Structure 1
């Protein structure tokens, strides 16, 4: 049996140094950390993201945006615009204030924060 309405979603926790990435789907509405990539320059970063998209074939992206106006807020907004222009996938933005603070452990902190952002999205759909 195929489920036509199941959507694969990739979530991003964008930071100036690292980008946490998580994956989930709308059938079970559970997220899981996928990996963390270095955010060195947009060309290298998008090359890595392209490989993830090729592997997982997501229907859309969730981007964590800190709604406290700051430099990182502007950076996340600009990054999400570039992501859309480059990959042409729909982007949904989620308030991610304090997601990195909630995750206590340093190991895989960025991908766990992305997973938390995606799980927050699932709670609201």
Structure 2
């Protein structure tokens, strides 16, 4: 459990996708997540360069990555891709990464057809992490 009484940490949340990656930001002092950016996942070099620019600007000390699972909890192809993305984040930036079950995060979002909501999905994932892990 994280304690809100400690020095506040800036935390990034990620909603990984093959075409786009949603990024959210929050801090442990207020425990509230906000959408930050949507990164087009053109290729690894571009994707991680954009993430590096966000890190340089905001200085997060922890990453949270949504982990998609089947409703029964079993893993599937995207689960493995998200785990690989989480490992790459940790390996490239040496920032701790935690995985959060994202099975029902998209259920709280209602999007119009064609609307990009990846940053809001990342915000829901990060908010779930705060709600489950912060103690006041």
Q: TM-score range by the shorter chain?
A: over 0.9
* Shift, 1:108, TM fit: 4.1
CA deviation vs aligned residue, 1:4-63 (integer Å, no higher than 9, x gap): 610000000001111000000000100100111111111110000000000000011000
Match of 2:125 in 1: 117
The TM-score, its normalising length taken from structure 1, stands at 0.92
Give ranges in structure 2 of 5+ residues lacking alignment: none
How do 1:56-75 and structure 2 match up within 5 A? 56-68=58-70, 69-75=75-81
> 2:89 pairs with 60, 83, 93, which one?
83
Count residues with an aligned counterpart.
Answer: 123
TM-score, structure 2 as length reference: 0.85
Distance 1:118 1:67 in 2: 17
Using the alignment, how far apart are the partners of 1:92 and 1:54 within structure 2? 20
Stretch deviating more after TM superposition (103-112 or 8-17): 103-112
Say which SS state the counterpart of residue 67 (structure 1) adopts: coil
Structure 1 stretches of 4+ with a deviation exceeding 4 A read none
| Aligned alpha-carbon RMSD (Å) | 1.4
Query: Any stretches of 5+ residues in structure 1 without a counterpart?
Result: none
